Structures are given as C-alpha cells and as structure tokens.
Amino acid sequence: MSQTFNYRHLYYFWIVAKEGGIARAAERLDMSLPTISTQVRELEKSLGVSLLKAQGRNLVLTEAGVAAMREADQIFALGEGLPHRVREAVSGTTVRFNVGISDGIAKLAVHRLLAPILNEPKLRLLCHDGEFEQLLAELALHKLDAILSDRAAPAKTEMRIQSALLSRSHIAWYAPKNWSDAARTDYPHCFSHVPLLLPTRHSAVRLRIDHWFERERIKPLIVGEFEDSALLMTFGAAGMGVFPVAESLDDDMVDTHKLEKIASCEEVEEQFHLIYPARKVLHPLLVWLLSRGPLPMSGEA
C-alpha cells in the first residue's frame, strides 16, 4: 500500500458507496462533486486499483471496491463508537471487558474462569458467543479484548496474538438417571450400546475423546453431536444420553443438574485458554486474569 493512503479518502469513498453515487454523497457531506470525486480517485491511486465503475448512468463497486467497502464498514463502525467509549472511560462509570466465548467451551467453566474479575465494582462484561475463527477475526479488529477457548492461539498466523493456559481438567462421564445403571455396567465398553452425546469435531476435546475410543477399541453409539456445549448439556440432562463434561464442574453436574457421575476419564483432558492481543499495554482486567496463572486440574490441591 502506498504511503499516501489516507483514511479521509477512505471515508469519502465509504459515503459514496453507502449513498449510491457521488452526487448524493456530496449532498450529504455538503461538498462539491469535484472534491468528492478527487478524494475517491486519490484513494484508488494509493491502493492501485479501481473501486468504482460506471454501469449505465450509475456507479457500482468493483470486486476490489466490495472488499474495501467491507473493511471500511468495520473501521468506521468502530470509529462511531469511539466517543462513547472515551466518555465512559473519563467518567469512570464502567470498565468494559469484551470477551469472545468459543462455542465449544463449557459455559459453566466460563463463569469460573472469569470469577476473579467479577467483583470489579465498575465492571461491564460483554460476552460474545461464536465460532473460534470468527472470534479470532473480531479480536484482530479490536472488537474483543480477549477470547476464552478450548485451544491455544494458532501457531501460524499473521495476527499478533498470544495465549495463556488458564485451567485444565480431566473429563468425566455424566448420565441422567434413566441411563446411569446401563452406563455403569461394563464401563467403558458399555458405550458401544449406551447412547452418547458428544461435542462436534470442531471441539478440541472431541479429538481426544475419539482417540480414547480408538485406544479402548470402542465403537461408540453416538446419538447426538452439538457445537454448543450448553445445548449438549440440555439434551443430556433431559434424558437423551450420557455425555462428557470437565470434571472440575462436578458439583454443578451432580448438585445443580441432578446428573449421576459414571466415571472419571483421566486419559482425556479439557483445556481452557485465554487468547489476547500481543501488545505492551493490556486491558487491566486481562492483566489480572493472567497474573493468577493456571488454575489446578480437578483432583489436585
């Protein structure tokens, strides 16, 4: 990209694209048509591509223009929220913390992982649930302060991010009462005929579970697969089948959800990672979470 790239030029192009033409953009901005046209041409010159083309009497976006418009939408959406966030910071009324929650991570675990910051008196916590790759893109665009995930940051990426292991736990198998007796009979080989609910293969722990099945020579009877961990737990608790959960959540499973623990599975581990931007200056709540180090695995002191 040329060093003459100018965000003001990008803004004028963005308005032209949103308004559907230079004349309407000039009217909205109260500027002359030649001025707007010149600004857009300067942007095209700096990028080395055409962003707009004539189609009959109208201007339409080129493929490069569509890509530029998509990026401009994100850039200026962030910019529009800047005054509010700055006023919020100056007034000291809230401390915003935007966290992306990978859909494969247990939602009960999320609460425990964030517990150290929940007593912040001015906290305004915003949690965004989504797929791992989508959340990474939002982190790169500074829409998120951090991501909680079941895996570390990818080793090969152009994004300037890093990750820390917050906690880990063996999994355990839990069953509703209608399947508890069958699941305890000839464990774990009972899973060849007792219905199982599992996370989909987008989840890191699912790969470890599959390898465990292979080592134990079990062909599991899988009756349901879920991307969202909360949905998996809902169907399991309703009686659909046996399912795995991090053993560190045992109290919630047994006391709150009235499920029965079938067995611990120390051969399979679930991990919880915090992914964040690689910056010298970090969000203060992020610093606090990182300063605690990894929480102990279930069963450890």
Domains of the chain: 7-82 (1.10.10.10), 87-167+273-291 (3.40.190.10), 168-271 (3.40.190.10)
Residue 86's pLDDT is 59
Residues 272, 294: Cα–Cα separation, whole Å: 9
Q: Are 266 and 204 in contact (CB under 8 A)?
A: no
Q: Kindly tell me if the per-residue pLDDT of 123 is higher than 60.
A: yes
Two structure tokens written together for 156: 């090969």
- pLDDT classification of 78: cutoffs 50, 70, 90: low
N-to-C CA span, the chain: 55
Q: Kindly tell me if the per-residue pLDDT of 55 is higher than 70.
A: yes
Residue 301's pLDDT is 36
Count of C-beta atoms within a 10 Å radius of residue 207: 14
> Quick one: three-class SS letters along 224-265?
EEECCHHHHHHHHHCCCCEEEEEHHHHHHHHHHCCCEEEEEE
**Which uninterrupted H or E stretch holds 59?**
strand 58-61
- Summarised one tens digit per residue, pLDDT across range 207-217 is 999 999 999 99
Residue 267's pLDDT is 95
Dihedral sign from CA coordinates of 250, 270, 146, 200? negative
Q: Kindly tell me if the per-residue pLDDT of 3 is higher than 60.
A: no
Between 292 and 195, the higher pLDDT residue: 195
pTM (predicted TM-score)? 0.67
Residue 300's pLDDT is 45
**Which uninterrupted H or E stretch holds 15?**
helix 7-19
Residue 294's pLDDT is 63
Section 56-60 average pLDDT: 80
Residue 152's SS3 state is coil
Count of C-beta atoms within a 10 Å radius of residue 56: 6
- Summarised one tens digit per residue, pLDDT across range 160-203 is 888 999 999 999 999 999 999 999 999 999 999 999 999 999 89
Dihedral sign from CA coordinates of 186, 190, 196, 198? positive
Q: Kindly tell me if the per-residue pLDDT of 117 is higher than 60.
A: yes
Q: Are 259 and 176 in contact (CB under 8 A)?
A: yes
Residue 1's pLDDT is 42
